């Protein structure tokens, strides 16, 4: 009898190591990891983790900036059947402690930049086991890199591991600011990143996203599923990204509109980008002017626009043939996806690679997943060809530069400023960032003797309490916040309209 084959993420690395062991799998700057090296290093980390007491189903949190040392941890956890749960490296200690505590991990792994803070987070969140990577002298707990170097390199045995087991846990902000853990299985991530068998060449991609972001691993897995490679960068500057394109002869580059704007401002003759064949974008509004500029700057490439989320993967895709014909659209449903609108116009999505739910949050899960459909919270419209446009949002989450910001979380911090009587936070449209975090404030009574703060003053007030991307980038003053007569709720949509006319 033939044994059932499961879609397991660890198998991608094992097979690549067998077929293309000397081909590059990942790079950062001039440092590279081949497929053979990555697979063996992942096996070694898996053996070390098991010795530390990490088993199938356990969650392991990583708190780190982008570094190649995180990749063997990602691979090792997949092979062990444990759950990879990265925490945003930009969070402060208080924010990180809340997320880590919700994850209830068996182990917390940090890089050198977060070593001291990670020890404090672990203590505050009640995490007993800690480890560090990247040569962090005096970092918390076990030196994972050193321990792995002397560990066996053979495949770890994980009896009973199946494709429906949880592979990763990504935390995303909800409209209330409470972190929600998106549970993704091995099967979901395998299906999301599989690109078929009829490719002319492996994908060579450059990743602008940090390695704590879901998109980084989605792009990585997509390249690895073609036996290709991905180049990571320390920061999403035009120089770093285009240097990586030239150095690795990349054929695909996905950037959010804000980063494409930086790239288009860079000297077009400084880097050789002739290897590029696929120019993709998404996560926020994509102006037709940007699409035209990309077409002009990168001739001979195709451009696609994606709409999706951590919960659904790719929900809709606008193909190259339509990017100029359908300005403002995000395309028809992606392959394998059913997409429909509710009576209120809310976009709902159904596919084989939806998330499994929110970790330890049945209430949020049942609200979002109804009869197999994920309710996105976005308002959409379908044209006569079935192409989708995003026209608004039921949820109040602000999407800025590919990150999610809950207005209530920012408001809570700003409300403690003595010069503000009231404050509301809204997202205002912006060509570069998609939306800007805007603080709309009512000044405290003049009798308080506190001077009206500047935007920079408010940003300093947020220091150490909010990640940089959550701080307001715009400040508007009003005499009073518009509120509903019945409930006194702030009318955020009206505020955005008022700001747009200024």
SS3 202: coil
Q: What is the pLDDT of residue 47?
A: 98
Q: What is the pLDDT of residues 104-138, one digit of tens each?
A: 999 999 999 998 999 999 999 999 999 999 875 66
> How far does CA 1 lie from the centroid of its chain?
42
SS3 461: helix
Give the DSSP H or E segment for 224: helix 214-224
What is the distance between the terminal CA atoms of the chain, rounded to a whole angstrom? Answer: 72
Domain 8-23+34-161 has CATH 3.40.50.720: no
Q: What is the pLDDT of residue 136?
A: 57
Q: What is the pLDDT of residue 284?
A: 63
The rounded distance, in Å, linking the Cα atoms of 83 and 169 is 7
Determine phi and psi for 178, rounding to 5 degrees.
Answer: -75, 125
Phi-psi region for residue 115, left (φ > 0), alpha (ψ -120 to 50) or beta?
alpha
Q: What is the pLDDT of residue 4?
A: 65
> How far does CA 360 lie from the centroid of its chain?
20
Q: What is the pLDDT of residue 173?
A: 63
Q: Where are the domains of the chain?
A: 8-23+34-161, 398-500
Question: Which residues have C-beta within 8 Å of that of residue 170, sequence separation ≥ 6?
Answer: 85, 86, 181, 182, 184, 214, 310
The CATH class given to the 398-500 domain equals: alpha beta
Which residues of the chain register pLDDT less than 50? 1-2, 174-176, 486-487
Q: What is the pLDDT of residues 348-406, one digit of tens each?
A: 999 999 999 999 999 999 999 999 999 998 878 888 999 998 876 676 788 898 888 87
Determine phi and psi for 465, rounding to 5 degrees.
Answer: -115, -25
Q: How many residues does the chain have?
A: 502
The rounded distance, in Å, linking the Cα atoms of 260 and 238 is 8
Q: What is the pLDDT of residue 403?
A: 86
Eight-state DSSP code of residue 375: E
The rounded distance, in Å, linking the Cα atoms of 223 and 251 is 11
pTM listed for this prediction: 0.83
Q: What is the pLDDT of residue 122?
A: 96
Eight-state DSSP code of residue 377: E
Q: What is the pLDDT of residue 175?
A: 46
Q: What is the pLDDT of residues 274-304, one digit of tens each?
A: 999 999 998 766 888 899 999 999 999 999 9
Q: What is the pLDDT of residue 475?
A: 96
Contact at 8 Å (CB) between 140 and 123?
no
The rounded distance, in Å, linking the Cα atoms of 466 and 442 is 21
Q: What is the pLDDT of residue 288?
A: 87
Percentage helix, strand, coil, to 5, in the chain?
A: 30, 30, 40
């Amino acid at each position: 009898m033939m044994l059932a084959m499961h879609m397991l993420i660890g198998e991608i690395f094992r097979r690549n190591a067998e077929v293309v062991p000397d081909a590059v799998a990942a790079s950062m700057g001039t440092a590279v990891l081949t497929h053979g090296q990555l697979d063996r290093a992942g096996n070694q980390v898996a053996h070390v983790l098991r010795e530390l007491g990490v088993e199938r189903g356990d969650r392991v949190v990583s708190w780190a900036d982008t570094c190649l040392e995180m990749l063997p941890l990602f691979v090792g956890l997949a092979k062990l059947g444990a759950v990879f749960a990265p925490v945003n490296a930009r969070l402060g200690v208080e924010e990180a402690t809340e997320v880590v505590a919700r994850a209830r991990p068996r182990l917390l792994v940090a890089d050198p930049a977060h070593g001291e803070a990670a020890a404090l987070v672990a203590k505050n969140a009640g995490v007993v086991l800690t480890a560090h990577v990247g040569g962090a002298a005096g970092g918390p707990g076990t030196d994972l890199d050193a321990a792995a170097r002397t560990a066996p390199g053979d495949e770890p045995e994980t009896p009973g591991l199946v494709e429906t087991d949880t592979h990763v846990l990504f935390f995303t902000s909800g409209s209330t600011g409470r972190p929600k853990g998106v549970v993704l299985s091995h099967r979901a991530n395998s299906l999301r990143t599989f690109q078929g068998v009829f490719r002319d060449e492996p994908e060579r991609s450059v990743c602008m996203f940090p390695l704590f972001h879901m998109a980084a691993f989605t792009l990585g897995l997509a390249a690895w599923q073609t036996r290709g490679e991905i180049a990571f960068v320390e920061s999403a500057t035009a120089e770093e990204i285009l240097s990586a394109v030239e150095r690795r002869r990349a054929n695909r580059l996905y950037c959010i509109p804000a980063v494409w704007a930086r790239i288009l401002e860079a000297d077009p003759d400084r880097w050789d980008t002739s290897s590029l064949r696929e120019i993709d974008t998404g996560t926020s509004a994509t102006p037709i002017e940007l699409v035209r500029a990309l077409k002009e700057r990168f001739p001979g490439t195709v451009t696609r626009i994606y709409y999706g989320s951590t919960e659904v993967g790719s929900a809709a895709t606008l193909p190259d043939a339509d990017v100029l014909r359908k300005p403002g659209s995000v395309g028809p449903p992606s392959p394998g996806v059913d997409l429909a609108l509710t009576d209120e116009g809310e976009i709902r999505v159904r596919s084989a690679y939806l998330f499994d739910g929110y970790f330890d949050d049945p209430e949020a899960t049942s609200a979002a997943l109804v009869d197999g459909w994920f309710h996105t919270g976005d308002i959409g419209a379908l044209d006569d060809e079935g192409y989708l446009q995003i026209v608004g949002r039921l949820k109040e989450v602000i999407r800025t530069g590919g990150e999610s910001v809950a207005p209530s979380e920012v408001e809570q911090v700003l409300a403690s400023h003595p010069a503000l009587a009231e404050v509301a936070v809204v997202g205002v449209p912006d060509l570069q960032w998609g939306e800007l975090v805007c603080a709309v404030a009512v000044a405290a009574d003049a009798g308080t003797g506190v001077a009206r703060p500047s935007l920079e003053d408010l940003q300093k007030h947020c220091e150490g309490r909010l990640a940089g991307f959550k701080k307001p980038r715009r400040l508007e003053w009003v005499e009073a916040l518009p509120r509903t007569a019945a409930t006194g709720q702030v009318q955020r949509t009206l505020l955005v309209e008022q700001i747009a006319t200024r």
